[in-house]
Amino acid sequence: MTQTPKDRDSAWRAKLSPLAYAVTRQAATEPPFSHAGFAPGAGTFACVCCGAPLFAADAKFESGCGWPAFSAPLPDAPVHEMRDTSHGMIRTEVRCAACAAHLGHVFDDGPGPTGLRYCINGVALDFKPDKG
């Protein structure tokens, strides 16, 4: 049986916290400096909605922007970038290509080697520590 959009929406609401739902399914933004952070160490940051691996822990850096920042997604990560003209500005939105979850935005003011700053909502991510 095929799920209707209403069924899918109900499933997302049941799976996610209200804030994670608002961010990932409605393109909201969590308040800056509100995310408690993630455990240090090696691992992967995955999409909180579908579990797709998106960013390696070693690509994370402290940008001072108030949200987790990464210099690049994992190779072959299902990261989709698209033009965002909301809020009276032009930005590049970042979504999970596997489930269309809104993750955040990418800016060109990051560190080397990419020069990019993937500014990602913490509630859109699930940290998976490496085993071993």
Domain extents in the chain: 5-32+42-129
Please say whether the beta carbons of 123 and 130 come within 8 A.
no
Instruction: Give dist(CA 50, CA 53) in Å, integer.
Output: 9
Active site residues: 119
Q: What is the pLDDT along the chain (132 residues), one digit of tens a residue?
A: 556 766 688 899 999 999 999 999 999 999 999 887 777 789 999 999 999 999 999 999 989 989 999 999 999 999 999 999 988 999 999 999 999 999 999 999 999 889 999 999 999 999 999 986
Distances 128 to 38, 56, 57 between C-alpha atoms, Å: 10, 10, 9
> What is the homologous superfamily of the domain 5-32+42-129 according to CATH?
Peptide methionine sulfoxide reductase. (2.170.150.20)
Phi (first) and psi of residue 98, to 5 degrees: -80, -35
Instruction: Give dist(CA 108, CA 104) in Å, integer.
Output: 14
Amino acid, single-letter form, for residue 56: A
